Amino acid sequence: MGTEGNYFHFRNSSPGGQSQRQAKADVPVNVPVNVPVNERQRWFLNQLGTGRKAKAADMAVRWNVTEKTAKRDIAVLKKHGIIEFIGPPKTGFYQIKEMAL
């Protein structure tokens, strides 16, 4: 896989639902331009983009990594402002942040 596959590109929808810029089909809406992500992070973003309330434990099981590794991957996404955690630690969930243009 080339470098191109490891980046998310910004996609925005106009009020009529028409895409203003071309982007990869599996990229969630409103992800910042050229943020490097690994395969696990891309999977996590796709899970959130489909409405699942994925957590670090889900990533750890899916990719056969420790929960600590999954939390580090998620922390990078939070640091870049791509996702946010909503609610209390026990019952909260991650969601893709709405990006202002």
Full pLDDT tens readout for the chain, 101 residues? 444 445 554 444 444 444 444 444 455 555 555 667 899 999 999 999 999 999 999 999 999 999 999 999 999 999 999 999 999 999 999 999 986 55
Indicate whether 81 belongs to any domain: yes
Indicate whether 73 belongs to any domain: yes
Q: Which domain holds residue 41?
A: 3-96
The pLDDT value recorded for residue 36 is: 79
Classified as helix, coil or strand, 7 is strand
Number of domains in the chain: 1
- Asked if 94 contacts 59 with a C-beta cutoff of 8 angstroms, the reply is no
Indicate whether 13 belongs to any domain: yes
Quote the pTM value: 0.65
| Rounded (10°) angle between helices 67-79 and 56-63 | 120
Indicate whether 101 belongs to any domain: no
Distance from the first to the final alpha carbon of the chain: 30
The pLDDT value recorded for residue 98 is: 83
- Asked if 49 contacts 11 with a C-beta cutoff of 8 angstroms, the reply is no
Q: CATH number of the domain that 92 lies in?
A: 1.10.10.10
